[in-house]
Each structure stands twice: as structure tokens, then as C-alpha cells.
Amino acid sequence: MSMGTLRELQQADYLNYGFVSLHASDAIQSLMEGKPLSSRNRESLSDARQFLETVASGVDLVTSGETHGHDLDAVDSVGALGIAMDPLERIQKTLASPGAAELIRSLAEALEAGSNQLAAVPADVKHKLQSAKVLFDAIYARIARELDQHPVFGGPDEERNGWLK
């Protein structure tokens, strides 16, 4: 079995992060509406927090050449940052500005705090959750556009050489 082309591997990341973003947005919406979180919602928020931590490490690596003590894979970090770059720049003017990684980590912390809430979400956490929801909606939209432009796993059937037939 072959490892797949670079495009197929990239599309696999897009699919993964697309699902993470979609599920995170839904879980955040439930949280902000005061609905009890299911175990799937909590898992989605945990996956989203891990994704944001990976993106923040990518920002650290690209801007300073360091990961600031975070033990994450450099390729994964930069790959996640690449997927989140355009949507992140809507929130932060430039990712090279001081505090970009801290902003992303604060959104990750809000996801964790929100998933552990048993009562109403405090206003400061709710504001960060709203920002995280906007971010995840934008990431999902970006990924959907990319996959529309470059269909998954090689495009039209005639280009697949029977791979999925």
C-alpha cells in the first residue's frame, strides 16, 4: 500500500481539521446556549483545544524558531498553522505581532474552561468562546472551499486509476 500523494495527505489533514472545526463550532454553540454538553461535545472541545495548541506552536515556531516548551511536532504545527492562517488573520492583524500565540492559547484555554463548566459560562470565557466559534466557522469555510476546488483523493474518476472504484 502506498503512502499517498502529498495532495492526498494534505486533503486528509483538511478533512480532519474540517471535522474538528465543524464539531467544535456546534459544541461551542451548545455551550453558549446553556445546553448540557454531551460526551461527544466535550471530546470535540478537547480536539479543538489540541488543534489550537498545535496552531499556537506553529506561530511560535514560524515567528521565533522555538516552540516555547511545547512538545509538539514541527511539521504538524506548521501544517495546522497553514490551514488556520487566513481565518486567524481575521482575528489578529498579523500573526507576527507580539501576543498572537498567546491569543490562540487563550482561546484554547476558554474551550477547556467551557467544557468543564457545570453552570453558566462567565462573561469573559463566553467572549473568548464566541471568538473561537467565529474562528472555527472560518476555518471550516476555508477548508470546504479548498476541497471544492480540489476534490478529495485525486478528483474525477478518470484520474483515480480505479483507486476507489
| Domain around 120 | 6-152
The reply to whether 83 falls in a domain is yes
Per-residue pLDDT tens over the stretch 105-155:
889 999 999 888 766 788 888 889 998 998 899 888 888 887 777 665 544
Length of the chain: 165
| Residue 58, CA distances (Å) to 14, 53, 65, 160, 164 in order | 16, 9, 9, 33, 34
The model carries a pTM of 0.74
The reply to whether 1 falls in a domain is no
The reply to whether 51 falls in a domain is yes
Q: Which residue has the cell 502529498?
A: 6
- Give the chain's domain count: 1
| CA-CA-CA-CA dihedral for 16, 89, 131, 43, to nearest 10 | 20
The reply to whether 160 falls in a domain is no
The reply to whether 144 falls in a domain is yes
